[in-house]
Amino acid sequence: MEPFKKISSIATPLDKVNVDTDQIIPKQFLKLIQKTGFGQYLFYDWRYEKDGTPRKDFVLNDSKYKNSKILLTRSNFGCGSSREHAAWALLDFGFKVVISTSFADIFFNNCFKNGILPIKVDEHILQKLFESKSEIEIDLEKQTIRNNDVNVSFHIEPHWKKILLEGLDDIAITLNYDDKISKYENVNRTSNPRAF
């Protein structure tokens, strides 16, 4: 995973609540067996007409936001299906940060696992960011969101911060606890009636 330090970009405003992962990546695109190439299908049913032409009224098709790395969206983003393809599609499209007031649990977790930083902010900060047109700087080390209109810090769990900053493989980290896992298995399998 690529380390995440600092990014600067204008933000793409997706002004919707309860965006579910079925919208982020519709089911017909879940059949690929690799992790790349999903960007072209991101928000597919909102992004394209039935004949495949881009919908003019959908924000991702606005050339202003072409190189945007930050997605702004409303509460409960990523609800529904656990499909990690949603995170892969956002990343493959170019988003490295998603800012909202709240996220669904599984999606939130899936973001970190793929080097995407999901940031929760208060409603009034989110509103300011939606209204602001200027470039936003996200500094993970300092945990800050800054632009002409906003200058706030954000919270991130220390382990996720470390994983993102260093681009770590979390399976390798867990395997450092191998002795503890083995011990748990041995104890449970010999002395506990829960054993199965």
CB of residue 110 to another protein, shortest distance in Å: 4
First vs last C-alpha separation in the chain: 36
Of 57-65, 130-138, 143-151, 180-188, the window that binds another protein (rule: CB under 8 A) is: 180-188
Tokens for 149?
């209109």
Q: Is 30 in the site for another protein (CB under 8 A)?
A: yes
Closest CA to 11 of 101, 138, 153: 138
- Cβ-contact 34, 159 below 8 angstroms: no
The answer to the question of residue 100 lying near another protein (CB under 8 A) is no
Q: Residue 24, interface with another protein (CB under 8 A)?
A: no
Q: How far apart are CA 2 and CA 118, in angstroms?
A: 16
Contact residues toward another protein (CB under 8 A) are 15-18, 20, 22-23, 26-28, 30-35, 45, 50, 74-76, 79-85, 87, 102-106, 109-110, 113-114, 157-159, 169-171, 174-175, 177, 180-181, 184-185, 188, 193-196
